[in-house]
Amino acid sequence: KPRVFSGIQPSGGLTLGNYLGAMKRFVQMQDAGTHETVYCMVDLHAITARLLPPEELRNNTRELCAGFIASGIDPEKSILINQSQVPEHAQLAWIFNCVARMGWMGRMTQWKDKSGKDAEGASLGLFAYPALMAADILVYHATHVPVGDDQKQHLELTRDIAAKFNHDYGVDFFPITEPVIEGAATRVMNLQDGTKKMSKSDPVEKTRINMTDDADAIAKKIRKAKTDPDPLPDAVDGLSERPDARNLVNIYAALADITPQAVLDEHAGAMFGHFKVALADLAVAKLSPISSEMSRLMDDPAEIDRILGRGAARAREITVPILEKTYDIIGMLRS
């Protein structure tokens, strides 16, 4: 079976963007049974933007693990891990730091966005982020990576790193991975600015819906979401110049598992005041079973830690031999 790898950072709470753009797809790929699936809480990535207080990182990681399971990831069917518990990720990342070029990294839009005006003050880890991400994927020889649209450029870099390694050592060792970016919600936008993506690390709370938000909070954030005064159009073309409106229609479509056009077929002519009520009801119906299961799982942190311990042991059956072979190709002495 071809292998799938993907990850989410425990840099904050899970958002609706993470759920629709990533998690929901992870579950579909697991349940299809056509791939071996490896899913990861990438805690080493979570400290690249800022060093989190240790208690916060621990709590975020456990909550993210609860989010995976509550969304439908079965730790028996998939390998579910926390990145730092499988040390081969970081070991292969060092090799890739020496394969990737400074120029490649400097062109990454996530680096530019997250370092902002203060590149001198950003961490070296934030700059090297895509090399660690390439290692996360390639240490499993994963061939398919389901992600949101914002990760497309990092996956191209992963292909470049694999190709350069293979070329420089004259081997056909690392696979050239395929991004899997599909569905109505590959880029869920910020509720206050339809030209920016929704992010868990955005400092402004009302820009996103968190998976742990209760029904009132979800309804309030949707009610306050930015829109325009026009009614919903009858065809998706009518949304092309209306990013905020388009975002709410796409979120509805992704939650209901229908196309954006099917949403308009049902709601054309409605004002956003009405549509937002329907959207809030749908969001609460889909998200509240997940959030209540998450809080139930969080009552037993020791069980979460056991699940991640078992996942790490399973993962290392794959990663240790791949790292050994990599060292051997490079000429690092093993004795």
- Point out which residues bind ligand ATP (CB under 6 A): 8-9, 11, 15, 17-18, 21-22, 147-148, 150-151, 185-188, 197-201
Return the bridge partners of 4, or none: 37, 144
Confirm or deny that 9 is annotated as ligand binding.
yes
Residue among 117, 196, 197, 286 flagged as catalytic: 197
Beta carbon nearer to ligand ATP, 159 or 197: 197
Burial class (CB in 10 A: 0-12, 13-18, 19+), 89: buried
Beta carbon nearer to ligand ATP, 18 or 326: 18
> Catalytic site residue 200?
yes
Amino acid occupying residue 78: S
* Nearest distance in Å: CB 287, ligand ATP: 15
* Nearest distance in Å: CB 165, ligand ATP: 23
Q: How far is the C-alpha of 84 from the C-alpha of 125, rounded, in Å?
A: 14
Confirm or deny that 288 is annotated as ligand binding.
no
| Cα radius of gyration rounded to whole Å, the chain | 21
| DSSP letter (8 states) at residue 15 | B
> Catalytic site residue 114?
yes
Confirm or deny that 1 is annotated as ligand binding.
no
The percent helix, strand, coil of the chain (3-state, each to 5) is: 60, 10, 30
Confirm or deny that 148 is annotated as ligand binding.
yes
Residue 166 and residue 132 in contact, taking contact as beta carbons nearer than 8 Å: no
Beta carbon nearer to ligand ATP, 17 or 75: 17
Beta carbon nearer to ligand ATP, 32 or 235: 32
Residue among 24, 114, 226, 276 flagged as catalytic: 114
* Dihedral of alpha carbons 146, 22, 139, 114, sign: positive
The DSSP result for 117-178, as a single string, is T-GGGS-HHHHHHHHHHHHHHHTTT--EEE--GGGHHHHHHHHHHHHHHHHHHT---S--PE
Confirm or deny that 10 is annotated as ligand binding.
yes
Q: In which residue are the tokens 């065809």 written? A: 235
Residue among 200, 221, 226, 276 flagged as catalytic: 200
Beta carbon nearer to ligand ATP, 100 or 191: 191
Confirm or deny that 201 is annotated as ligand binding.
yes
Confirm or deny that 74 is annotated as ligand binding.
no
Q: How far is the C-alpha of 67 from the C-alpha of 57, rounded, in Å?
A: 15
> At 81, phi and psi to the nearest 5?
-140, 165
* Nearest distance in Å: CB 19, ligand ATP: 9
* Nearest distance in Å: CB 16, ligand ATP: 8
Beta carbon nearer to ligand ATP, 147 or 323: 147
* Nearest distance in Å: CB 335, ligand ATP: 39
* Nearest distance in Å: CB 163, ligand ATP: 22
| DSSP letter (8 states) at residue 186 | S
Q: How far is the C-alpha of 70 from the C-alpha of 294, rounded, in Å?
A: 6
Reported residue count of the chain is 335
For 46-69, letters b (16+ CB in 10 Å) and e give: bbbbeebeeeebebbbbbbbbbbb
Confirm or deny that 18 is annotated as ligand binding.
yes
The residue nearest ligand ATP at its CB is: 21
Q: Which residues are annotated as a binding site?
A: 9-11, 17-18, 136, 148-150, 188, 197-201
Q: Which residues are annotated as a binding site for L-tryptophan?
A: 136
Tell me which residues are annotated as active site.
Answer: 114, 197, 200
Q: Which residues are annotated as a binding site for ATP?
A: 9-11, 17-18, 148-150, 188, 197-201
